[in-house]
Chain A
């Protein structure tokens, strides 16, 4: 069955960087795009953008340009979210989501906490 397994929780200091992984299984990784969604504590869902898993071409939503980078390692069916120059307001759960004509599979989420 389709599964997206994300890396574990991270505690980082302001100004540091973090890389969240999302490993896919149960399907051909390069056939479906991966989207990223952020959820701050107690808040709603924010779309960050997506990456074309065949070409590696990323598209970033408004507010997620510059410090946020999507990348892939197709040899291990894994998508990555890299966030640099972390700020306390980046504290959130980050989800990867497979898109197959609909957003049908979500990772379990990766909690990133930014605190001094």
Chain B
């Protein structure tokens, strides 16, 4: 089974800064079936990025995904106040697996 590692667990930024979040998989993803989600307290996860780099419907273009193989990145080009939340990565092959999440907090 593929395991996903997100580190660090918490990142601190000021609004307007660029945020780069990391997700590493334990095996190479040949099909780039990797997604990123944003989750705020009391809410369901919201799909941001799928297939490693495709933006989901309605997602602002300040969110972008990149990477291949075992190393993937979510970039938020300029943090807005509403972007402070927890972000999860996910592999969705024949089975699913999630990273443990990275909290993006206000510095």
A95 and B46 alpha carbons, distance in the complex (Å): 12
Contact with B along A33-63 (1 / 0, CB 8 A): 0010100000011110000000000000110
Q: Which residue of B lies closest to A108 (CB)?
A: B44
Assess whether A47 is in contact with B50, with CB atoms less than 8 Å apart. no
Residues of B near A37 (CB, < 8 A) are: 96
A102-B51, A109-B44 in contact; A44/B98 too (CB < 8 A)?
yes
A47 and B99 alpha carbons, distance in the complex (Å): 11
**Interface residue tally on A, bucketed by range:** 10 to 19
Give the distance to chain B from A37, nearest Cβ to Cβ, in Å: 8
Q: Which of B71-98 contact A (CB under 8 A)?
A: 88, 90, 92, 95-98
**B101 at interface by CB-CB < 8 Å:** yes
Assess whether A44 is in contact with B44, with CB atoms less than 8 Å apart. no
- Name the one of B47, B98, B100 contacting A104, with C-beta atoms under 8 angstroms: B47
Assess whether B99 is in contact with A44, with CB atoms less than 8 Å apart. yes
Residues of A near B51 (CB, < 8 A) are: 102
A108 and B45 alpha carbons, distance in the complex (Å): 9
Assess whether A47 is in contact with B98, with CB atoms less than 8 Å apart. yes
Assess whether A102 is in contact with B88, with CB atoms less than 8 Å apart. no
- Name the one of A44, A62, A102 contacting B47, with C-beta atoms under 8 angstroms: A102
Residues of B near A46 (CB, < 8 A) are: 98
**A14 at interface by CB-CB < 8 Å:** no
**B35 at interface by CB-CB < 8 Å:** yes
Contact with A along B30-65 (1 / 0, CB 8 A): 000101000000001111001100001000000000
- Name the one of A47, A95, A99 contacting B95, with C-beta atoms under 8 angstroms: A47
Further contacts, 14 of them, CB under 8 A, given A102-B35, A106-B44, A106-B47: A44-B99, A45-B88, A47-B95, A95-B45, A102-B51, A103-B47, A103-B50, A103-B92, A103-B96, A104-B56, A106-B46, A107-B44, A108-B44, A109-B44
